[in-house]
Amino acid sequence: MQRTVVLNLVGLTRALIGDSTPRLRELSAASADITSITPAVTCSMQSTYLTGKRSHCFRSFLFPPRQFAV
């Protein structure tokens, strides 16, 4: 089984990873970027992590697609 690590660190960017974060720098070699959805609130982002990109009820109901570019 292939293991996966998900680090849910709000505000962490590649620019913040360097000499002062050697373990994160080591992990970053095998990292993948996750693009945000709009609105990027915890509920909708956690749904995206679990199910993949799709139109979730929260965004579709409160924020019609024409208001936000996906």
Domain residue spans of the chain:
14-67
The CB-side HSE value for 13 (13 A sphere, CA atoms) comes to 3
Query: In whole angstroms, what is the distance from residue 22 CA to residue 7 CA?
Result: 15
pLDDT digits (tens, 9 = 90+) for 8-44: 777 788 889 999 999 889 888 887 776 666 666 667 6
pLDDT at 1 over 70: yes
Write out pLDDT tens, residues 51-63: 665 554 544 445 4
pLDDT at 60: 46
Omega cis (within 30) before 39: yes
What integer pLDDT is reported at residue 20 of this predicted model?
93
The pTM of this model reads 0.44
CB 56 within 8 A of CB 44: yes
For residue 66, the model assigns a pLDDT of: 53
Taking the C-alpha atoms of residue 49 and residue 30, their distance in angstroms, rounded to an integer, is 18
